[in-house]
Amino acid sequence: MCLTAVSLFSGCGGFDWGARLAGVDIIWANDNDAVAESAYRSLLTKTRFEPGDIRDIECFPSAEILIGCYPCTGFSLGARRRWKLRTDRNLMDIEGNFLYKEFLRVLKQNQPKYFFVENVRGMITAGDGWFFENQLQGFKGHGYTVKYALLKADDYGVAQSRQRVFIVGIRSDIAKEFEYEFLPPTHGPGRENKSLVLSDVIGDMPLWPSGEFLEKEFHGHYLTRNRKRPWNKPSYTLVANAAHVTLHPEGEPMVFVEKDKWALQGDFNRRLSWREAARIQGLPDHIAPKGNLAAKYRVVGNAVPPAFGKTLLTPIVQYEA
């Protein structure tokens, strides 16, 4: 019998798809983004998806595992630079930074055996560590032994230089017999598998997929840094903002001009398409978000690469087998 899981802040289902690949049955999911919901339903067709604001939901189904990828509105380093969020007070003013309390509410209510949380690496340092420490103390206070790690996507078979922090909780009664260990990296020099690069994952896709990539001009901020990786390298971290999506690897590389200024070369310079971005994330081709182009980029860019879900859930599945 499969382990069951409830998923909160589920997005388009990247982490949950990976959990399913590990052998976990996602029985219930929630998100308040209609485009993410449509994408999720196209992936995990048998999961009961309840749309809406989690704060309006009082009761949740029970399961052995609780998954939560709550928003990172002010935790990301990019957002903090952009909004000049330099102080604890700035971060305290962003309502989305406290949605972890909803995860704690469900954790306390249902007391699953295990939980998994994903967020941007900036969460560790946000508010001089206040937010992260409060989450850890909340988890421990509800009776869980907690471990966390900063993991790189390209270490686990994703063609992308993406780093995310993951928190794993084991209910204390189970932790007496089972000590969770993060699986070691599987891809890269000296490891079982070679690193995946752009040519491995999008090399067979059309070079000019009309209507699937943003054709907006490259503004000054876009040109403040290198946005193009070659075919034989993994992608830069994918983002949710369509205007900031990195360049397709075809054509000539960008060149450095001076501090905070790079220049385009040649005739082939376009952003990655949303479908290419989905491939780079490791999402299956049948994902089908219903929305405009910007919305498709948003839900794909916000996704957790499924490789993380599979990697993190595997030790639990093996222990419970």
Kindly write down the DSSP assignment for every residue of 187-198, as one continuous string. Answer: BSTTSSBPPP-H
Alpha-helical segments (H) within 142-227? 172-175, 198-202
Q: What sign has the CA pseudo-torsion 32, 37, 40, 44? A: positive
How many other C-beta atoms are found inside a 10 Å radius of the C-beta of residue 241? 12
Tokens for 81? 């630079």
| Dihedral (Cα; 155, 160, 166, 168), 10-degree rounding | -50
First to last CA, the chain: 9
* Distance in angstroms (rounded) separating the CA atoms of residues 273 and 135: 36
What are the beta bridge partners of residue 258?
261
User: Measured at the alpha carbon of residue 287, what is the angle toward residues 282 and 292, in degrees to the nearest 5?
Assistant: 115
Q: Are 74 and 131 in contact (CB under 8 A)?
A: no
Q: What sign has the CA pseudo-torsion 73, 75, 80, 86? A: positive
CA atoms within 13 A on the CB side of 52: 7
Active site residues: 72
* Distance in angstroms (rounded) separating the CA atoms of residues 218 and 84: 23
Tokens for 12? 């388009």
Tokens for 177? 């017999």
Q: Which of 142, 144, 120 is nearest to 131 (CA)?
A: 120
